[in-house]
Amino acid sequence: MQKIGTQDEWITRAREVLPAGGFGNFDPGIIIAQGQGSRVWDEDGIEYVDYLIGSGPMLLGHGHPEVMEAVLQQLPKGMTFFANNTKGIELAEAICAAVPCCEQVRFVASGGEADMYAIRLARAFTGRDKILKFEGGYHGMSAEAQMSLAPERQVNFPQAVPDSAGIPQGVADQMVIAPFNDLEAVASLMDEHPDIAAIIVEPLQRIIPAVPGFLEGLRALCDKHGVLLIFDEIVTGFRLAYGGAQERYGVVPDICTLGKIIGGGFPLAALGASAEIMQHFDKGRVGADKWLMQLGTLSGNPVASAAGLKTMEVLRRDGAYDRLRALGRRLQDMQSNALSKAGIAHQICGDLTLFDIFFTDQACVDYRSAKHQSPERNVIYNNVLRRNGVFKSPGKMYPSLALVDEDLSLTEAAVSRAVTALLQS
């Protein structure tokens, strides 16, 4: 690969043309040049074991040969049509066969779009306006989703705090904010707000697991009040299990959103529900007043659909999820054992397929409790991991099926150095 600039040169160029020098997603101080399997390389040629995996979609790793072949077979046939195509239809069939709540799906290009339409669909179906979401829950970049995502100041529930400029007060007035994992608080709020259309929830909120009975309780409360339950499965879909969190936890929502893995690394997402709910996308069935308009230039893109179909086929093979969980267990154990041996307070939070560490001795059950008692320890820990060849978000570690023993050995050595750095800090 011919070099056309150092990483520092690219960073300088980025600062000229990109606000804050980046795409808004990740640390702009690193420029990734390529990925293959479980590894990525930056523009200076430094190699890393990749636990970011594109923020989740590359569950099979980078450049999986079967996914690449499926894409290469589709490319000569056309890259996009703004019309129905066979790959998109096949992908919709595969999703509906896998995900319990989905009888029909609609495709969009991003998870944020899917969540936005899911909220709008719930309002169209119920005729109500308010949405209950959980403090700290991430549902994309819509105005509703940017309410109490990461509030820097604590307010009394159910007040919504906007996390972005440019959002009208009227949006906040339609949002009811609750603490995650507090079923009693949700029940009280639903009694106080009979105009709630839906509860939207990540069944694994970022990396915070639902306590036993919480998701089941949400389902029961929604049934009692005639409210729709939306599972945001952009992250958990096809990761926690082939059927997502719905399969893993045995709780079926009314609507779910999917993304990341179903596009095989390409821009694609979807929302799905029963045919009765999804009929609001069909003007001929519900009429103009109840019709939900939805379109997108790249919705159902055939290249992304081909990649997603092949990814899902690989995940259906025997042992795929057992291996993913075994990898997650090894990664959790190597870190917890090293930290415990050093006497460093910590909690590993999440699922074996997606997790990270909080440097605290307190249980992490919601946005306000899932905090580092020593934030500087998290900075030191992740910086040392990066310097020793481990590429990850400061708040998540995504295992992938591309990992091999060599990757785990490198990671364990990096963890040892990071723990030593904490002891010396």
| Same CATH fold assignment for domains 7-63+318-424 and 65-315 | no
Instruction: Name the β-bridge partners of 105.
Output: 272
pLDDT for position 5? 84
Contact 381, 424 (CB under 8 A): no
Model confidence at 3, in pLDDT bands (50, 70, 90)? low
Q: What is the mean pLDDT of residues 233-260?
A: 98
Kindly list the catalytic residues: 138, 232, 260
CA atoms within 13 A on the CB side of 47: 7
Q: What is the mean pLDDT of residues 323-347?
A: 98
Contact 246, 102 (CB under 8 A): no
List the domain boundaries for the chain. Answer: 7-63+318-424, 65-315
Quote the pTM value: 0.97
pLDDT for position 4? 72
Which residues 6+ apart lie within 8 Å of 184 measured at CB?
A: none
Instruction: Name the β-bridge partners of 175.
Output: 131
115 pLDDT above the threshold of 70: yes
The domain made up of 65-315 has a fold known as Aspartate Aminotransferase; domain 2 (3.40.640)
Q: Class of the 7-63+318-424 domain?
A: alpha beta
Alpha carbons 365 and 379: distance in angstroms, whole number: 22
Model confidence at 8, in pLDDT bands (50, 70, 90)? very high
Q: What is the mean pLDDT of residues 387-416?
A: 98
Alpha carbons 42 and 221: distance in angstroms, whole number: 49
Q: What is the mean pLDDT of residues 403-417?
A: 98
Q: Which of 270, 272, 265, 271 is nearest to 304 (CA)?
A: 265
- Please give the C-alpha separations between residue 385 and each of 52, 185, 351, 394, 413, in angstroms, as whole numbers: 13, 39, 21, 10, 9
Model confidence at 152, in pLDDT bands (50, 70, 90)? confident
